[in-house]
Structures are given as C-alpha cells and as structure tokens.
Amino acid sequence: MDKVAIVTGSASGIGFETALALAREGYHTYATMRDIKKGDKILEITKKENLQLRVIELDVNNENTIKKAVEVILDEKKRIDVLVNNAGYFLVGCLEDLTISDLKDQFETNFFGVVRTIQAVLPTMRNQKSGIIVNVSSVAGRIGFPVTPGYISSKFALEGLSESMRYELFPFGIKTIIIEPGVIKTNLFATLKKVTKPDSAYKEITEKVMKGLLMMSEMGTPPQEVAKTIIKAVASDNPLPRYPVGNDAIMFLEAKKDKTDIEFENYIKKELFS
C-alpha cells in the first residue's frame, strides 16, 4: 500500500525540497501550491527521477481548494499518512507601521491556513488511527526578534497549536511534529512583504535588521537540510516534539535556555545592533 504525503507551499524552498525528499523515500507525494504554473521545475525532476509525485492546486487561504485537493487525494489513494504544513510568507515591519489588516493577512496564511489544512485531513487520519502532521514553524516561534512581530506572532501561535494537538491527537495514533528552522538559504526574501512608512520612526532599525537577515540568508542553512530533518522525524517511531534546524537556530535556543530573560535580551541586542 502506498504511503501518501501532502506538502503545502511546494513551489520553492523548504516545501519544494521536502516534497522531493518524501517522493524519493517512496511516498506518493502531492506537492501542492497556490499556482500550479510554478510546478514545472519539480515536475521536471519528478520525470527525470521517475518519482511518484503529483502537483495539485491548494491555496491554504481558500477552503474550497483545500477540500477539493483532499477529495482528489482520497479518491486516488484512499489515505493520507503525512501532512507537511509549510506554506507561509514573511512579513517585515515594526508594529506601529503595520495595520490590523497586515497582521490579519499574516495570520490568515501562516496560522489559519495551517488550521484549515489540518482540519481537512484529520477525519481521514482518525479513521486510519495513524498519521503524522509536520508543522514548519521557525526559531522565531520560540524567540522574539525586532522588525518581524507579525511573522513571529504567527509562529508563536503555531507552536502553541502544535503543542495542544499533540495531546489531542495521540490517542488516535496521530503524531504532531514541529520543525524550527533558523535563517534558511532560500527565496524567502523574494516573497517577503515589507511594510515601512516613508517617515517611519523605525526606518533605521528596520534597515539594520534587514541587512543582517540578508547577510545571514546568504550563509544560511540549505533548505535540503530542513527536508532531511523532516524525513528523519517522519521515519521515527517516537518523534521528538521539536526539531531545530541550522546552527543559528540551535545557538539562539541554547542561549535562551542558559540565560535569564534579561541576559538573553542583552545578548540579542548585542547580536543584532552591535
């Protein structure tokens, strides 16, 4: 029996690499994306390597596309074994510069999009009494940083959701895993939404932090490493609740664990502003 995996946000970056990695591990993989015209590259690799991978439309902000995608998958394969929630975007802007609409849009994709997709697959996983849900969070789901409060808040919310799910779903044989990448060498900044008013009081801090993030992304962890971590977690009989990925993520989390709140705050200020 084929094991079936769904990956959201598969057009590029982490989702792209994870969909390919799952297919290479023998999963019949549905690489989903909002715009299937962006699926040419992954389909080219699929054909070359003779993988079981199909590109289908799924917009996490559109319940109809989620429902339709799940119906197609169940009609073809009758089961869903793995769901990787990866779709999201990176909102940059200090809180005073952001509108409520900006923040709602960020949560609509990064948080409620995950909720919609999970709710669509849970009945199938419960009936199977098995399944694995992988939520791609971020080190920013555990640690606050300046200039990205919308993004960070959405990832903090995703971490809390995932912790609650672990308790609710384990009686049904469903595992919940959180992946926490640091800065990844990917096209995150190509899909970045930046909100800064021309006369913003936060223009200087925003530019400084963005410059640092861009430098870090050039030396960041390749998205393939995140995909490898997801494969390792999914293959485990008893996966950990969380998997940090990248030296920067591990460094920040270790520092947070070892320091008091004030010590850690001073550490972050030194790292970002010195």
Buried b (16+ CB within 10 A) or exposed e, 110-128: bbebbebbbebbbebbeee
CB 68 within 8 A of CB 94: no
Identified catalytic residue from 151, 202, 243, 267: 151
Could you give the domains of the chain?
A: 4-273 (3.40.50.720)
Q: How confident is the model at residue 63 (pLDDT cuts 50, 70, 90)?
A: very high
29-35 mean pLDDT: 97
The C-alpha atoms of residue 216 and residue 111 are separated, in whole angstroms, by 25
Tell me if 102 sits within 8 A of 134, measured CB to CB: no
Torsion sign over Cα 146, 148, 151, 153: positive
Task: Note if the pTM is more than 0.85.
Answer: yes
| Residue of 185 and 145 predicted with greater confidence | 145
Strand partners, 244: 180
pLDDT at site 176: 98
Q: Is the pLDDT of residue 68 over 90?
A: yes
Q: Say whether 202 is catalytic.
A: no
User: Per residue in 186-210, pLDDT tens?
Assistant: 665 666 788 877 889 999 898 888 8
